Amino acid sequence: MSTVLQYLKHAARRARYAAPIKGQDGANLLRLQKSGRVVYGPHTYGIPKVMTYHYGTERAIFGSYSSIGGTYLLGGQHGVDRVTTYPHRINWGMEGAGTDGFPNSGPDTHVGSDAWTAENSLMMSGITIGDGAIIAAGAVVTKDVPPYAIFGGNPAKLIRYRFDEDQIAALLEIAWWNWSDEEVREAVPLLAERDVDAFIERARANAAPRTPTAG
């Protein structure tokens, strides 16, 4: 199959996947992407429910090749160390609305590359989900998730790691999601297999410096 035909077929598939971006969640996602509140890396897909609040600038930043579902809360945190958790100044139109810690703003939410957050999961504002991590369906994520960890439950806790420590370190060093599209395409036969060590070996061999040939 010619390279041009492969590209056209790939573009058609991407168009089909992009077509479902409609409805309330889809329209909200597009609006937040245009405003910079939601940032998708290359080839990341999915239509999560993203909840934002009028007073707040927190963003959700996603890496590359991630599969995104669930709900993301950006800001809107209520202070638990105050006499009340009620946002009087906002709801009553008082001076100082949005600047008194009601709601309590925080850091951006980050999701790494090659991560998967399943449907009906809930990500609290300000958390970081590492590269290669998986969030199980129905999980409520209240703290950072390490790379290649599988988290589930309410509150979400570590179930297990996808690979051993050496394999995880190697995958993070290789960072295949930063490769060119053509390099990723060539690696798909290994990326889609269970033999992690074979992929690591091939990636390292391809990255190794070549010894100049005598001229």
Tens digit of pLDDT for each residue in 74-131? 988 787 888 888 888 888 888 888 777 777 778 999 999 999 999 999 999 999 999 9
Neighbours of 36 (CB within 10 A): 10
Q: What is the DSSP letter of 120?
A: T
Residue 60: per-residue pLDDT: 94
Dist CA 123 CA 129 (whole Å): 9
For the annotated catalytic residues, the residue numbers are: 88
Which pLDDT does position 194 carry in this prediction?
A: 95
What's the rounded Cα separation, in Å, for the pair 140 and 46?
18
**Alpha helix positions (H), the chain:** 3-18, 23-35, 88-91, 165-174, 181-191, 196-207
Q: Which of 152, 153, 176, 172 is nearest to 163 (CA)?
A: 172
Name the nearest CA neighbour of 124 among 113, 112, 108: 108
The CATH number of 23-162, from 3.30.70.20, 1.10.390.10, 2.160.10.10, 1.20.140.10, is 2.160.10.10
Each residue's pLDDT tens digit, 153-199: 999 999 999 999 999 999 999 999 999 999 999 999 999 999 999 99
In 3-state terms the chain splits into helix, strand, coil percentages (rounded to 5) of 30, 20, 50
Q: Assign residue 66 a region: left if phi > 0, alpha if psi is -120 to 50, beta otherwise?
A: beta
Strand order, beta sheet including 140-141: 49-51, 71-73, 122-123, 140-141
**5-54: per-residue pLDDT in tens?**
554 555 554 444 443 444 567 788 888 888 888 999 999 999 899 988 76
pLDDT at 195: 97
Quick one: which H or E segment has residue 158? strand 157-161
DSSP assigned state of 121: -
In the block, tokens 């946002």 appear at: 87
Q: Give the tokens for residue 159.
A: 């179930």
Q: Please identify which residue in the block is written with the tokens 């409520």.
A: 140
Question: What gap in Å lies between CA 5 and CA 106, rounded to an integer?
Answer: 47
pTM to 2 decimal places: 0.81
What is the C-alpha separation between 145 and 115, in angstroms, rounded?
11
pLDDT at 215: 42
Q: Band the pLDDT of 70: cuts 50, 70, 90.
A: very high
Cβ–Cβ under 8 Å, residues 142 and 123 = no
Higher pLDDT, 113 or 56: 113
Domain(s) labelled CATH 2.160.10.10 in the chain stretch across 23-162
